[in-house]
Amino acid sequence: MTGKKLTDVEKSIFEESERINTVKATVRARASKIKTPTLVEEALSTEDWKEKDFAFPQKTVRLGTMFSGIGAIEHAFQRLKLNHKIVFASDIEEKCKQSYFANYEIDEKDWFADVREFDATQYKGKVDFIVGGAPCQAFSMVGKRLGFEDARGTLFYEFARVIKECEPKVFLFENVKGILNHDNGRTWHVIHDIFEELGYDVHFRVLNSRDYGIPQNRERLFCLGFKKPTEFHFPAPIELEYRMYDFLEDFVDTKYFLREKGIKFVTSSKNREKSYTQVNGDVALCQKRNQQFNWHGDFVFHPLASDEPYEEGFDEFIFDVKDVEEKYYLSEKVAKYVLAGGTKNFRTSTKTDLDVARPLLQTMHKMHRAGVDNYVTHKGRIRKLTPRECLRLMGFKDSFKIVVSDTAMYQQSGNSIVVDVLIAILKQMDITQYGECEQ
């Protein structure tokens, strides 16, 4: 790299320090000793996690997060309406801090930028649950896959150090699926062994967000460590009830909604008197076999059409519908590029308007071809996803405040963890049993 100016990404890859080099040497030595790097993923549960109740809803879970981003686990606690206190959080990106502070309650003194300079001993015994997804580019199939030779790949060691210094009751480590087969499995074996040596009962498995309620194909490794030996199986997949279109800002599925003419017919006094129709009736009228094809029968007034507040459950997705700004629509020139099938040596899909979205990328603001990114059509025009839609496809409700630029929000969404997968894990493990009673 001599004589060439390094980009910020290259700087982060090739960064050197005595600390980084020590970690690299340590993991290299450990990896070389592993002869049969085979570890078995934890089984899936056969229980219905959605029906499980929290045993101790009155308890408060003391939460610490590293590589916090926009706070996926924090948003999961909000959606579940669980008592929690953010003890500390950290991220080196200043714009992530802006998003985080706009959406969660945390003292300035408990926010840390560079985890390498974070002394976590002050929080020993004061945190119940630590969550972190160390930067994944070092192990991602999309990146250079340099592993521990990439300076970012050594950051998992900082996560392990904080676990050692804080001694939480349980931790959750998240990363890309590719970390499992990197260096023929040795990379994950090293990380797994380090977690076990810290005294934790370790369970791991790859989970796909499409199996937990979100229409996005996003496979990620989830690793739980329990301070006490624990029988645990990862949450069972559930049937996907939504399509990507249900998460779009300018889309309303009118399949079950009446148009103006139908509304006038249903609500007319003539038809009510003859008991052809009723709205919000206490006792249903006799259902007709062909009810879906006419306007006779029972109808309900949609809750969002009233002035009364609607109490949304953690697993319900009801979003406002509004026009999308012109800036998100692609020009003819750009649309032609993203829909191109590739070159002679590189072919890609041109499919848009998917039912299940492709994985959202932290680089999606650059607009890759359709085979990599997600594009939708509306009224005959093609557009990219808006930042709000990306947040929705990561499990963030519209209560999440956007306070940064579009580019930053695309990056933050693509780097986040899908909230609904976290919700499934929290319910399956019953996170409240690790909380503390209020003093």
Asked if residue 227 lies in contact with residue 195, where contact means CB atoms within 8 angstroms, the answer is no
> Which residues, in sequence order, are bridge partners of residue 311?
none
Closest-CA residue to 140 (of 420, 414, 432, 436): 414
Q: Tokens standing for 421?
A: 């997968």
CA distance 192 to 41: 12
Helix (H, G, I), strand (E, B) or coil at 44: strand
Closest-CA residue to 429 (of 239, 241, 223): 223
> Which residues, in sequence order, are bridge partners of residue 234?
44
Task: Give 231-289 as a DSSP string.
Answer: ---BPPP------GGGG-TT---GGG---HHHHHHHH-HHHHHTTSEEES-SSPPPP-T
Helix (H, G, I), strand (E, B) or coil at 154: helix
Which of 96, 136, 166, 390 is flagged as catalytic? 136
**Owner of token pair 């624990």:** 230
Half-sphere exposure of 321 (CA within 13 A, CB side): 9
136 is catalytic: yes
Q: Point out the residues that are catalytic.
A: 136
